[in-house]
């Protein structure tokens, strides 16, 4: 779909195909993310978005009862609402507890008063300041709030009177602070100040000045001891007994038309008429935020560990999201007493089969997180629900290894069953639940695991059939020699078939050694050169008796086009035979963007040696470069097998030199830059290839020649090959010398036809696949060397 749309954009809007694919892929991923967000939110908040006829279930505090609501059963419960009301009443009845008066406050305020009075005295004595300036200066005292009338009175009194007023201010301030002054008492104390001024000051204006200054300087000297007060309130609240409410069956709980208060809402909840949730809008927002968190965390995880899902495998991503939403919707429907039997772990098992355990981990955690937000749980414990989904899924992801065997699924299902039982025991054995109820949950948990394996196995068949994915069973099917495409390759290009077998064995062993997908790369290697069937004679491995057609063609451009087209034609053939897209990646990428250098040089020679006359792009494979470790392994195996077969090495050193030159050349040319292979991986792959090529190209003994020499009275048979003789100067012999029986005097038995050196160029028969390191060792009698 994306590729077809990209071609249309390129044709009609002059947008480059590669850029169009990138934009369309990003658009598809974005639309998929938005769709996932909306659907996941709708599933989690389903009852709030679509309340239907559940008018009672959707009531909130403050709503008006649409009808009379009666108690369905007789219920007595402890009312947290009424208990909190009683406790608050007890707290409110406790009076605050204050600390004793602090003398430091009196000293501080008295000292402040003296400084203020000294300042006023200086202002009064200033002969250079005008009356307005003096008023302004006195009103700038921040500790006092004096109006203009009071300030003028301060300036108008004579010096003797002012000194008496100043003494009275200090005295009155000290007397007032001798008593406890609390913040709540300030107004009352200020109102009493006029009655405490000395009777000497009969003038109301002088009295007002004294009261105004002292009133502004009074401060609380006794503060509330919050710790003691809280302790007293807590003690009073703890002494309150729990409040209980009772409803008989059929008793009216809320009358029609009345507003639902907290106590009513609690009663409806206790009677089972409400879901344990907040208001609808809050639930929807909660579901939306949960879905956003799931998408963001999962997206970051995939971008870190499997970025190809975003850019090269959007169909996989959409499939994984669809499976996730299907399982989540099932959890929404099953979120009741029967949830323990709902097989959520099937999602993790399917993810392992489809994409791998690393994505199964994050998928399981995301599912557990969202399921935990769904409020309808049998024991009203979201943590239990989350643990059930998360633990079961993670155990399934860790235990499903070789998905091509039925017993692998059911072993994982058994492990999931035990994990579910453990979760059920963890959350229910220490509760007041009935023993029979706990036992029923344990049985449900066990059946859950078995059902998860069954659903995952059935789902794998369905997904493989509908989406043509390279699952383990699909790979087993494609690896069978009787596959029509492999049979056609064997008949039409037998040399290519033998080459593919060899490359498959090399690739599989290398992939196993570095922890890549060995099954995938083995099957992909069998099909990577199917495009050669269209022109088999133009490829060296199929030119045994007919010579090289390129010499007759004598057109480097045409020859290069034929060689390069085996990639594009192979991809088209794979599409026609409905090979999974993942296998088609191997066909497109196994040559990367390298050049057919031989024909390029021929073209340069025909152009008179002028390289500017030859466009090297005409001799370059379309690519792309390998985008995964598996496709890179195939590229290296393909190149090394061709080089070693062409060179026919006679000793280990030649094998090492050939393999190293191919791998190092691919690395230096940048063909491996996008594959995520490390230098350590390359070293391991190189060692594996060398070891296998040594086993393949070991020295052969020409038995016929040796026997003829013995019959003619020649030297005794020396079972050392020519390659060994060449290598005698080496400090590391490549092969041990075969010992002979010198006392043997009988006649030689009939000898099979000799194996001459010239025959080493013939296509090898299918090489037995080497045993993988994780397979059980076979008896030596079952592993034989046909060339011995």
* 91/294 Cα distance (integer angstroms): 44
For CA atoms 66, 67, 69, 72, the dihedral sign is negative
* 374/368 Cα distance (integer angstroms): 10
Structure tokens at 31: 């639309």
* 170/214 Cα distance (integer angstroms): 8
Per DSSP, the residues of 236-294 read: HHHTSPPPEEEE-TT-EEE-TTPBP-HHHHHHHHHTT-S-S---HHHHHHHHHHHHHHH
pLDDT score recorded for residue 37: 93
Q: Residue 76: phi, psi to the nearest 5?
A: -125, 130
pLDDT score recorded for residue 310: 77
Q: Taking the model in full, what pTM does it have?
A: 0.58
Q: The tokens 């031989």 sit on which residue? A: 598
For residue range 290-311, what is the model confidence (pLDDT) as tens digits? 999 999 999 999 888 888 777 7
pLDDT score recorded for residue 6: 65
pLDDT score recorded for residue 630: 93
Q: Are 594 and 671 in contact (CB under 8 A)?
A: yes
pLDDT score recorded for residue 662: 95
Q: Measure CA of the first residue to CA of the last residue in the chain; give whole Å.
A: 54
Q: Are 223 and 98 in contact (CB under 8 A)?
A: yes
Q: Are 91 and 236 in contact (CB under 8 A)?
A: yes
* 586/525 Cα distance (integer angstroms): 8
Nearest to 521, CA basis, from 769, 233, 259: 769
Annotate 113-136 with b (16+ C-beta within 10 A) or e (fewer). beebbeebeebbeeeeeeeeebbe
Report the 10 Å Cβ neighbour count for 730.
Answer: 12
pLDDT score recorded for residue 402: 65
Per DSSP, the residues of 50-103 read: --TT-TTTT--TTPBPSS-EE-SS-EEEE-HHHHHHHHHHHHHTSPP-BPPP-H
Name the DSSP letter for residue 738.
Answer: P
Domain ranges across the chain: 2-49+279-469, 103-217, 475-696
* 440/340 Cα distance (integer angstroms): 10
For CA atoms 41, 46, 47, 53, the dihedral sign is positive
Angle between helices 679-696 and 652-668 (to 10 degrees): 150
pLDDT score recorded for residue 298: 92
Q: In terms of residues, how long is the chain?
A: 788
Report the 10 Å Cβ neighbour count for 336.
Answer: 10
pLDDT score recorded for residue 657: 94
Q: The tokens 């001799």 sit on which residue? A: 619
Instruction: Mark the ranges of the chain whose per-residue pLDDT is less than 70.
Output: 1-4, 6-7, 10-12, 17-18, 21, 51-58, 72-73, 272, 275-279, 312, 335-338, 375-380, 402-404, 431-434, 698-788
Q: Which CATH class is domain 475-696?
A: mainly alpha
Question: How far, in whole angstroms, is CA 282 from its chain's centroid?
Answer: 27
pLDDT score recorded for residue 333: 80
pLDDT score recorded for residue 750: 35
Name the DSSP letter for residue 535.
Answer: S
Looking at the DSSP bridge assignments, the partners of residue 64 are 259
Determine how β-strand 75-78 pairs with β-strand 252-254.
Answer: unpaired
């Amino acid at each position: 779909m994306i590729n077809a749309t990209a071609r249309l954009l390129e044709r009609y809007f002059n947008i480059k195909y590669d850029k169009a694919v990138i934009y369309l892929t990003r658009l598809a991923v974005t639309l998929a993310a938005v769709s996932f967000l909306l659907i996941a939110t709708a599933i989690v908040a389903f009852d709030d978005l679509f309340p239907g006829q559940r008018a009672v279930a959707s009531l909130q505090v403050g709503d008006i009862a649409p009808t009379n609501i009666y108690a369905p059963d007789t219920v007595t419960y402890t009312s947290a609402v009424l208990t909190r009301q009683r406790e608050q009443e007890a707290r409110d009845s406790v009076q605050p507890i204050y600390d004793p008066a602090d003398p430091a406050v009196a000293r501080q305020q008295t000292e402040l008063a003296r400084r203020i009075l000294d300042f006023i005295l200086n202002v009064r004595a200033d002969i250079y300041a005008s009356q307005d300036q003096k008023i302004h200066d006195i009103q700038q005292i921040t500790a006092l709030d004096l109006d203009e009338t009071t300030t003028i009175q301060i300036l108008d009194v004579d010096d003797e009177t002012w000194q008496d007023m100043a003494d009275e201010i200090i005295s009155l301030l000290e007397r007032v602070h001798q008593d406890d002054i609390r913040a709540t008492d300030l107004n009352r104390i200020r109102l009493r100040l006029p009655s405490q001024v000395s009777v000497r000051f009969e003038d109301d204006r002088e009295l007002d000045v004294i009261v105004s200054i002292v009133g502004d300087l009074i401060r609380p000297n006794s503060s509330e001891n919050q710790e003691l007060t809280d302790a007293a309130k807590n003690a009073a609240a703890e002494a309150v007994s729990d409040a209980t409410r009772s409803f008989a069956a059929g008793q009216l709980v809320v009358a029609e038309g009345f507003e639902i208060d907290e106590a009513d809402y609690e009663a409806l909840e206790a009677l089972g008429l409400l879901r344990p949730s907040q208001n609808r809008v809050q639930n929807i927002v909660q579901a939306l935020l949960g879905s956003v968190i799931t998408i963001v965390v999962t997206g970051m995880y995939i971008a870190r560990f499997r970025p190809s899902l975003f850019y090269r495998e959007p169909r996989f991503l959409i499939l994984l999201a669809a499976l996730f939403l299907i399982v989540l919707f099932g959890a929404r429907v099953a979120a009741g007493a029967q949830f323990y039997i709902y097989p959520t772990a099937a999602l993790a098992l399917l993810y392992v089969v489809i994409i791998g355990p690393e994505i199964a981990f994050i998928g399981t955690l995301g599912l557990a997180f969202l399921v935990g937000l769904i409020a309808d749980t049998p024991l009203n414990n979201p943590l239990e629900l989350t643990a059930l989904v998360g633990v079961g899924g993670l155990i399934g992801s860790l235990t499903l290894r070789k998905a091509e065997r039925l017993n692998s699924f059911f072993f994982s299902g058994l492990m999931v069953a035990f994990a579910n039982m453990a979760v059920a025991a963890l959350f229910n054995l220490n509760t007041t639940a009935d023993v029979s109820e706990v036992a029923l949950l344990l049985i449900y948990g066990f059946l859950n695991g078995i059902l998860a394996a069954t659903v995952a196995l059935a789902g794998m068949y369905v997904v493989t059939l509908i989406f043509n994915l390279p699952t383990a069973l699909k790979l087993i099917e494609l690896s069978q020699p009787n596959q029509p495409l492999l049979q056609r390759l064997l008949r039409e290009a037998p040399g290519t078939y033998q080459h593919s077998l060899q490359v498959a064995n090399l690739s599989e062993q290398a992939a196993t050694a570095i922890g890549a997908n060995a099954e995938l790369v083995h099957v992909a290697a069998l099909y990577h050169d199917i495009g050669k069937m269209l022109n088999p004679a133009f490829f060296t491995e199929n030119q045994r008796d007919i010579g090289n057609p390129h010499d007759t063609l004598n057109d480097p451009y045409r020859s290069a086009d034929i060689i390069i087209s085996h990639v594009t034609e192979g991809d088209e053939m794979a599409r026609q035979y409905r090979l999974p897209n993942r296998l088609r990646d191997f066909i497109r990428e196994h040559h990367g963007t390298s050049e057919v250098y031989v024909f390029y040089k021929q073209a340069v020679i025909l152009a008179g040696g002028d390289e500017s006359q030859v466009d090297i792009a005409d001799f370059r494979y379309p690519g792309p470069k390998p985008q995964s470790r598996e496709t890179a392994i195939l590229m290296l195996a393909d190149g090394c097998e061709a080089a070693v077969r062409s060179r026919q090495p006679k000793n280990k050193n030649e094998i090492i030199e050939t393999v190293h030159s191919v791998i190092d050349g691919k690395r230096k040319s940048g063909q491996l830059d996008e594959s995520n292979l490390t230098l350590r991986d390359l070293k391991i792959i190189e060692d594996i290839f060398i070891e296998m090529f040594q086993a393949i190209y070991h020295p052969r003994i020409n038995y016929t020649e040796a026997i003829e020499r013995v019959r003619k009275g020649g030297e005794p048979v020396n079972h050392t090959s020519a390659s060994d003789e060449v290598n005698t100067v080496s400090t590391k012999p490549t092969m041990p010398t075969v010992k002979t029986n010198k006392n043997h005097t009988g006649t030689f038995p009939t000898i099979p036809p000799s194996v001459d050196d010239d025959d080493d160029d013939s296509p090898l028969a299918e090489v037995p696949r080497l045993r993988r390191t994780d397979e059980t060792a076979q008896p030596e009698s079952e592993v034989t060397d046909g060339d011995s």
